[in-house]
Amino acid sequence: MPKLTVLDVRLYGEPVATLTNLQDGRTIFAFNDAYIKDEKRPALSLSLKDPFGALITKFRPYNMVVPPF
């Protein structure tokens, strides 16, 4: 059975994303759908916005190190 470890990422007590560590050592970051759809969402990090201010929602898996933000 694959081993997964999932952590909730919270902002002001509200879940906004997850960090999932896969058995092969990769880590995946993903925003929750509710956070993506919320037009008045607080910023988790300015590094998670594109040059036009839109939220970046597609991330590649990282090996052993999570994405900086």
pLDDT digits (tens, 9 = 90+) for 35-56: 999 999 999 999 999 999 999 9
pLDDT (0 to 100) of residue 50: 92
Decide: helix, strand or coil at residue 52: coil
pLDDT (0 to 100) of residue 66: 62
Q: Which among 4, 10, 34, 9 is positioned nearest to 19, based on CA atoms? A: 9
Q: Which among 60, 14, 5, 69 is positioned nearest to 38, based on CA atoms? A: 14
DSSP state of 55: B
pLDDT (0 to 100) of residue 64: 60
pTM of the model: 0.78
